A = this chain, B = another copy of it.
Amino acid sequence: MTLPDPLTDQHRYISNASQDVSEMLEVIGIDSIDALFETIPDDVKLKELLNIPGPWSEIESRRWFRALAAKNLTAVDHVSFLGGGAYLHYQPACIDQLLLRAEFLTSYTPYQPEVSQGTLQSIFEYQTHQCLLTGLDVANASLYDGSTGLCEAVLLAERVVRNRKKVVIAKSVHPQYTETVRTYLQNLGYEIVEVGWTSDGRIDTAALREACTSDVFAVAVQSPNFLGVIEDYDAVAQIADAAGAVKIAVIAEATSLGILTPPGAHGFDIVVGEGQAWGVPTQYGGPFVGFMVVKDALKRHMPGRLVGETVDVDGKRAYVLTLATREQHIRRGKATSNICTNEALIALAANMYLSLMGKEGLREVGQQCLSKAAYLRAELQKIGSVILPFSGPVYNEFVVRTPFPADEILADLEHQKILGGIPLGQFYEGYDNEFLVAVTELHTREHLDQLVAALTASISRERR
């Protein structure tokens, strides 16, 4: 295969052109680029070009991708009440423009601290925010997301307790998180025990007590849970402690940490969660950012990267990746995790968001979510035949039940330009008439009233 004359179709992302190529070949002392590929056996070499589209100009790419994007129904032209682990919150304008600075966007993992202090210091600040918000001692630089974060938390717990075989996970933990844990654990010989909920939507403590046998190494609950209900951390902690199990709190709606008492205040050992709610777009599920915060005693079991403070030879304060002996590039098969690339840029965005909102803003966001959810619940309950099945306290999300299949109701709302919620039937047997509704500070009272009116209309249509 010979290089087509670059002059015929030189590519904009590849600097060197034919003149450069010949100059370089001469220095190397060969007369064609092909000579460099002789170690690849001819019988595996392609005899022709790949059969894929392109090359496209930016003009053509814009047309094609924008046309695809236009096929999606989104919050762009609908009022959306979708949550379930991905929330549309306020995104401060400066964050995205700062993220586009090449110094943040294009740099690699900060292996060389002298030329990476920007990234390192930001991670150190991010770690600090996580500690303040969760009430625990040590946070890492980020994990892939909330679901894989829970996997890492469970594995961490096992490393700490040792020689136990069961992990108890509340049925009201995000079902896709639990699914992911199931995948991660499948060959490791651990058993997952799920515990359901009672009529208030909180974990069934009686069942939990039963489940917490002496071979349980960890108990994981989510709060607010997947039904939107805020769990009773103390009740759970008590039972887990009695069994000597590690207490794991899962946070799927990060802004709740701005107003709800943090797991750390209730003696939880590990808080793991999804940071997307901190102003990150929902972008069909990724990239998001997983966070993990643990008690100091567990820090050497922590998965992922950690940034620590130190000094340089001049005594100047500086930051560096540390406690690396936990990690795969040193420990290899015995590492605390296999993670290498993480979600650094999203963690940076979260650091920016948390800094902009600050002490006052984090609380105000929580207060607004809380208040708008309360208002919407009250209004919905005025609709005959709409039921809010769970009586437990909620933050910004809750379950709605109507006498009709949620899929039909939501399809009807869609025609009214409303993305009304997430049908629960796909996650829980026998919940075909229920759907999850989430609100944030982005919803105006008009938006909420719109949903109430639209839902009323949908229901009456269904009656016919």
A residues at B contact (CB < 8 Å): 12, 57-59, 90, 92-93, 97, 100-101, 356, 441-442
Contacts and interface: CB of A to CB of B under 8 A. Distances in A.
A251 B59 CA distance: 26
Contacts of A356: 12
A58 B93 contact: yes
B92 A58 contact: yes
Nearest to A70: B77
Contacts of A58: 90, 92-93
Contact of A100 (B12, B57, B59, B100): B100
Contacts of A92: 58
Contacts of A100: 97, 100
Contacts of A93: 58
Nearest to A441: B59
What are the 7 tightest A-B residue pairs by CB atom distance, in nearest-first order? A97-B100, A58-B93, A59-B90, A100-B100, A59-B442, A58-B92, A101-B101
A124 B442 CA distance: 47
Nearest to A94: B58
A89 to B, nearest CB: 10
A90 B58 CA distance: 9
Contacts of A57: 90
6 contacts: A12-B356, A57-B90, A58-B90, A58-B92, A59-B441, A97-B100
A283 to B, nearest CB: 18
A369 B222 CA distance: 60
Given A57-B90, A58-B92, A59-B90, 7 more contacts: A12-B356, A58-B90, A59-B441, A59-B442, A97-B100, A100-B100, A101-B101
